Amino acid sequence: MNCPFCGNIEDKVVDSRVSSEGECIRRRRECLKCQRRFTTYEYIEKMPLMVIKKDGRREPFDKKKVLSGLLRACEKRPISMQTIESLVDSIERKLQRDYEREVSNADIGELVMKHLQKTDEVAYVRFASVYRQFKDINQFLGELKELLSKRRD
């Protein structure tokens, strides 16, 4: 690692800590030449997860798109931004864990709905109505009836 102050390549690690999420390791280093300290972060290199769209196109998974969809579904609901971000992180972790290289957008949508259903039923119905592209009120009522029957159980 090159010292950002003097460019020397020799340093020693003074302290190492795992981040709170366990996603990276933070290392405090000290240059052996100028004795100044600097911080580096070590991350696991992840293979990009590709999303297979309805029309067969493939594009890299974009967590911002999931966040955007959740923000629209949760608009004017009593759900904190921290909760929404936690949902997005949880969804991304599950996708990285369960899918090696490719995932269909249908699988992502179902996973988002599963998480939303546990968090907020109104946001769930909003997301489902857009995701499932209800053609008429009967499809919408069917989804509501299913939600109500699960609630009673």
> Within this chain, do residues 15 and 71 fall inside the same structural domain, yes or no?
no
pLDDT, average across residues 9-19: 94
Q: What is the CA radius of gyration of the chain?
A: 22
In sequence order, the 6+-apart residues with CB closer than 8 A to the CB of 40 are: 1, 26, 27, 29
> Within this chain, do residues 83 and 120 fall inside the same structural domain, yes or no?
yes
Arithmetic mean of pLDDT over the chain: 90
Q: What is the pLDDT of residue 53?
A: 94
- Whether 138 shows a pLDDT value over 90: the answer reads no
pLDDT digits (tens, 9 = 90+) for 24-57: 999 999 999 999 999 999 988 777 899 999 999 9
- pLDDT band with cut points at 50, 70 and 90 for residue 10: very high
Q: Looking at the domain assignment, is residue 101 inside a domain? A: yes
> Within this chain, do residues 28 and 73 fall inside the same structural domain, yes or no?
no
Percent of the chain with pLDDT over 90: 67
Q: Looking at the domain assignment, is residue 3 inside a domain? A: no
- Whether 135 shows a pLDDT value over 80: the answer reads no
> Within this chain, do residues 37 and 60 fall inside the same structural domain, yes or no?
no
Q: Looking at the domain assignment, is residue 99 inside a domain? A: yes
> Within this chain, do residues 65 and 108 fall inside the same structural domain, yes or no?
yes
Domain of residue 20: give its range. 11-43
> Within this chain, do residues 97 and 38 fall inside the same structural domain, yes or no?
no
Q: Which residue type is seen at 31?
A: C
> If we measure between CA atoms, which residue out of 95, 149, 151 comes closest to residue 118?
151
> Within this chain, do residues 22 and 85 fall inside the same structural domain, yes or no?
no
Stretch (H or E) spanning 25? strand 24-31
> Within this chain, do residues 57 and 115 fall inside the same structural domain, yes or no?
yes
- Euclidean distance between CA atoms 78 and 120, whole angstroms: 9
